[in-house]
Amino acid sequence: MITRIDEEAGEDTCTLQLLWSRGLLPDVVPLARLPDPTNGIALQRDTRRLTISRRVAGLLWGVSEGLSA
């Protein structure tokens, strides 16, 4: 579960909009990390697959084990 978003994200409107549009906000349901052949991080939430960059993943705190960049 995401418990916090790093303050650095608050300085970047595009990053905040990306997180909001993908539902990656504090107190969201648990996420599962999936194998991803790209340089990003793939997540599964219900039936939806999300891919975010390692930089953006590094701004999220308290996410499922193994999600940190």
What per-residue confidence (pLDDT) applies to 69?
45
Closest CA to 24 of 38, 6, 37, 39: 6
pTM, entire model: 0.68
- pLDDT for 6-56, tens place per residue? 888 878 888 889 888 888 888 876 567 766 667 778 777 778 888 888 888
Classify residue 58 by burial, with Cβ atoms within 10 Å: 0-12, 13-18, 19+: middle
Residue with tokens 């997180």: 19
